[in-house]
Structure 1
């Protein structure tokens, strides 16, 4: 790996760490009930969901900060099914996720295999 790629990787990683710390600070400053909700969504995404990009968590913080500022009840933000809400929310950030690349790779491989299938 040349020095420019190495530097870009390190700076990118440091940038993400800085952004993650900023997100965590923003979440910490939310009113207690909004902070409880965002913490629960964060845990769900990390344990059961696709993980997520820093941008996704920043956008989640934006949503909860605005909702808190407007005094929008959490139920109005997330609806009746919090799992459906967060999974739909996260789907918008999964395009570059490794699992999607692997799914595409699998589909492409099977399509190639079917194209080579001579029926024998």
Structure 2
């Protein structure tokens, strides 16, 4: 996908560019492991959840709110996403859309990405999935 196509996709996906940039700036300020988790969830949402612009923008902003608050409170990532990150994302997205089909490979990638982020919290690999 070219940069122009990606920019057009993002503009269609979440609305005004300014809103997307504000969201990205918020995510960039998160501690590393929280940022890694949000980026994994974001990738998953962008690829597998139908969107309509305004509700998708609200979804990403709420995702940032959730992880900003969790980071401020010191809430572990596993307490946020639980044992099944795919189920978390599905439930989270259903608040904003009708949902979508998520292939097993994509769920595994999301789970692996969250595993790495959650493992960074304690300095050791968290083996719960």
Q: Which runs of 5+ in 1 are unaligned?
A: 1-12, 100-120
Determine if contact 1:50/1:90 at 8 Å carries over to the other structure: no
Q: In the alignment, which of 68, 86, 90 is matched to residue 93 of structure 2?
A: 90
* CA distances 1:7-64 after superposition (whole Å, capped 9, x unpaired): xxxxxx8x72111100000001000000000000000011122256111000000000
Separation in 1 of the partners of 2:19 and 2:39? 17
Q: Pairwise mapping of residues 6-85 of structure 1 onto structure 2 (< 5 A)?
A: 16-51=16-51, 53-85=56-88
- RMSD of aligned residue pairs (Cα, Å): 2.0
Q: TM-score, normalization: structure 2?
A: 0.60
Higher relative contact order (CA 8 A, sep 6+): 2
Residue correspondences, number = 84
Separation in 1 of the partners of 2:75 and 2:50? 27
Report the more deviating stretch, 41-50 or 54-63.
Answer: 41-50
Give the superposition deviation at 1:81: 0.4
SS across alignment from 2:49: coil
Q: TM-score, normalization: structure 1?
A: 0.64
Q: Which runs of 5+ in 2 are unaligned?
A: 1-11, 101-129
